């Protein structure tokens, strides 16, 4: 049997998501718990996979793991939902044997930035330059084996108190992509660059420019969408909004 598990975490408490020797990471802590409770023997045999590997400091209200196990999903959710204080496990689902959570239909990231002295309409106009398919070579940390061409479906702006909230929707994102896009948008707002500079950087990716990297802590992986729904513990779901409020309170 293969199961997918849905969870949230405060990324500021860890050295990033992906497992690293001698460092506490989200993935590492979860894998230790799975092995401790006998849900898996090791990550290779269980075909353990994660949906997204967030950077150090980045939090999530939704990330997904999948693994093969003989243990009932009800028991797994019961145990894992009480296992951690800095990770909230709140959903589970039986999935097909070859399910890999990396292949999602849509990912949604949310960035909180200080909304003071930011013209929302102008910021939206700047953000429009990034929607659609582009070579993001100047707006991401590109690994040699990854294609820098990505498509951002939508960028939505809302206000939440003093925050300007920016939601990004796409199937996949590159390393540092959102934080570099946010940095560029803010630089336009501060008059340090113009929108045409962004358009030029997108149209000429081989002409290297650097518009900076926004801080990691205000970035949250908000949701990951598949063609199925998870089964949730109702009491656990109530914790998720509280969890987001706790994260943004300290930004």
Whether the CB-CB separation of 124 and 115 falls below 8 Å is answered with no
CA distance 103 to 145: 17
Phi, psi of 66 (to 5 degrees): -140, 145
| Number of CB atoms found within 10 A of residue 217's CB | 18
Q: Find residue 110's DSSP bridge partners.
A: 167, 220
> In Å, what is the CA distance from 21 to each residue of 4, 37, 150, 183?
25, 21, 31, 31
Check residue 129 and report its DSSP letter: G
Active-site residue flag, 86 = no
Say which of 42, 55, 167, 229 is annotated catalytic. 55
Residues in Cβ contact with 161 at an 8 Å cutoff, skipping those fewer than 6 apart: none
Check residue 172 and report its DSSP letter: -
**Any idea which residues carry the catalytic annotation?**
55
């Amino acid at each position: 049997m293969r199961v997918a598990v849905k969870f949230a975490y405060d990324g500021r408490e860890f050295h990033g998501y992906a497992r690293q020797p001698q460092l506490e990471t989200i993935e590492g802590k979860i894998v230790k718990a799975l092995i401790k409770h006998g849900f898996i023997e090791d990550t290779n045999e269980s075909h353990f996979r994660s949906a997204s590997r967030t950077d150090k400091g980045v939090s999530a209200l939704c990330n997904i793991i999948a693994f093969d196990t003989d243990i009932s999903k009800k028991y797994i959710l019961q145990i894992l939902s009480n296992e951690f204080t800095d990770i909230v496990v709140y959903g589970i689902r039986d999935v097909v044997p070859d399910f890999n959570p990396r292949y999602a239909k849509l990912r949604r990231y949310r960035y909180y930035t200080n909304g003071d002295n930011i013209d929302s309409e102008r910021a939206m106009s700047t953000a429009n330059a990034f929607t659609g398919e582009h070579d993001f070579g100047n707006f991401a940390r590109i690994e040699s084996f990854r294609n820098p061409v990505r498509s951002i479906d939508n960028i939505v702006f809302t206000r939440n108190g003093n925050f300007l909230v920016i939601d990004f929707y796409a199937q996949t994102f590159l390393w540092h992509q959102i934080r570099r896009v946010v940095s560029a948008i803010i630089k336009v707002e501060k008059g340090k660059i113009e929108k045409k500079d962004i358009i030029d950087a997108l149209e000429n990716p081989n002409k290297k420019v650097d518009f900076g990297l926004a801080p990691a802590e205000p970035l949250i992986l908000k949701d990951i969408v598949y063609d199925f729904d998870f089964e949730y513990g109702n009491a656990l779901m109530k914790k998720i909004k509280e969890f987001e409020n706790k994260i943004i309170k300290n930004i």
